Structure 1
Amino acid sequence: MIKDGDEPEHDVRCIAVLNKIAEALNCCVSDLAVSGPDNLSQTAELLILWMSFDNDQDREKLLSAAQHIAAKN
């Protein structure tokens, strides 16, 4: 679990979201960043983008793109 400290409000929100996601996936936050700190930052950015969408159609487009990429792996 990532601890809150003197981080800016944006970072505190990201930490809270990542902790909730890790809990939901029954893993550690560090597991979300398989390749290191840059991946954790990218994970946070993806979640911030997801939360910024105002409508379900945009979220569906992002989800569809991620599913398409995952299917190729």
Structure 2
Amino acid sequence: MPAEPARPTRVTLTDDGPVLVHGPVEIELADGRRVRSDRPVTALCTCRRTRRPPFCDTSHRTRVREEQGS
């Protein structure tokens, strides 16, 4: 029985947010360090506002505070 061909890694580019990588991923940072994510979908920051580089923490979203007491 022939082996199933490996699925390609799927990467989704979003208009106003992160790059989504489907499946486990290993990322090599500019300084040579490597980080790994085993999540089903990993969001990689492209706006550089994240506090968790290279992963997106949704800091790119505009936050609107509700008035207190309303």
Q: TM-score range by the shorter chain?
A: under 0.3
Task: Give 1 or 2: higher strand fraction.
Answer: 2
Using the size of structure 2 for normalisation, the TM-score is: 0.24
**Which entry has the higher C-alpha Rg, 1 or 2?**
2
Using the size of structure 1 for normalisation, the TM-score is: 0.24
